[in-house]
Structure 1
Amino acid sequence: MTRRRSDTREQIRRVALELFAEQGYEKTSLREIAERLEVTKAALYYHFKTKEDIVASLFADFHAEAEELLEWTRGQQPTPESRRELVRRYAEIIQGPGSELIRFMQQNEPVVRELKGGGDMRSLMQSFATFLVDKETSLPDQIRARLPLFTLHLTSFAMRDTAVDEDDLQAAALEVALDLIPEQ
């Protein structure tokens, strides 16, 4: 793929996520995406035939990174330090452009369930949670073990009404998430 085509695809994906965040997935059309990009609808179709294709490409990229992390966990014993490392690495994946995808998923959760790739995302989260949870602990401790992932996902949503810098917010969320991992 040429650099220009790759750049165009990335611009389409970025603008689509912006519009999905502004007005919702279902209320956003390919025409609106093309207009925001100042390209023809035909030019947009060259890269993506549907908005579902745009979201599927975003899910595929996220899934590839998350799958690499999941593969890493398969070679690890679930110790407190390896669990913290999982949380650190996962935080890196969902920062930057990944944070926009997470925000899109939160804002459009009913639609995400139906989109190609949405089920894969849930499966990945379940796999990460399995690594974090010691099944021999009490139910409250099993819930606590899953909280680091939710902390990373929900902090932007919970803090959206504050004027905190996004990088500072993500750093604070990671700090809290790491603190939630038990020492034993």
Structure 2
Amino acid sequence: MSERADGRRTDTRERIRATALEMFTTQGYERTTLAEVADRLAITRPAVYHHFRSKEDVLASSYGEVLPELAELAEALHPEPAPWHRRSEALDRFAALIQGEHGALLVCARINEHALAGRPAAAELLHHLDDLTRALAPATDIDGRMRARLAVSTLIMAETRGAQLGGTAEQRATAALALARELLNPK
């Protein structure tokens, strides 16, 4: 039976990827092993290694669609600093990416950026995130760059700090987007 016909291989691959990204985010990239991912999923270690040779492979397998979207968002904001309406649209789109299917990868990359900085598989993703953050800045000075960094971090925090922040995921996302807007549109 083909892999696509029975769906098992594809489902296993997606389960491994989702679990690994969640564990990288909660435990840290450096402190998580693929063996632990296998244990969490109650599958054999060879099954994990059949789908992914390394943790970097897990990350790289997730980049396909999100890299062009991040590049497009940043490009729409050039030349910098972009007017507020363009930065606002880009912020909304980035918030939607975090809430969507790419959220786990984006959150994982930002939370683990220091651990991933030297990893070839993560370099392009981190570059696109940094480019977008710079392009979101309301000004090119340190204040503007800090506001952009805090705005992006606020959106990420809403996804990762539910227990500390309280409320529902939707309430946290709404509050984070409102705060990010305030940071990026200083009066």
Question: Same fold, TM exceeding 0.5?
Answer: yes
Counterpart code for 2:4: T
Aligned match of 2:173 in 170, 173, 183?
A: 170
- TM-score, scaled relative to structure 1: 0.76
Q: Answer with 79-88 or 159-168: which moved more.
A: 159-168
Aligned match of 2:67 in 63, 69, 86?
A: 63
Q: Check if 1:47 corresponds to 2:48.
A: no
C-alpha distance 19-158 of structure 1, shift in aligned 2 (>3 A) = closer
Aligned match of 1:27 in 28, 31, 54?
A: 31
Aligned match of 2:114 in 98, 105, 110?
A: 110
The structure whose RCO (Cα within 8 Å, separation 6+) is larger is 1
- TM-score, scaled relative to structure 2: 0.75
Q: Which runs of 5+ in 2 are unaligned?
A: none
Question: Who is 1:149 aligned against?
Answer: 152
User: 1:75, CA displacement in angstroms?
Assistant: 9.7
Q: Distance in 2 between matches of 1:178 and 1:6?
A: 39
Question: Who is 2:4 aligned against?
Answer: 2
User: 1:151, CA displacement in angstroms?
Assistant: 2.5
Q: Answer with 73-82 or 108-117: which moved more.
A: 73-82
User: 1:139, CA displacement in angstroms?
Assistant: 4.4
User: 1:159, CA displacement in angstroms?
Assistant: 6.1
User: 1:155, CA displacement in angstroms?
Assistant: 4.2
Q: Which runs of 5+ in 1 are unaligned?
A: none
In the alignment, is the contact (CA less than 8 A) between 1:83 and 1:132 conserved in 2? yes
RMSD of aligned C-alpha atoms? 3.3
- Shift >6 Å, 4+ stretches: none
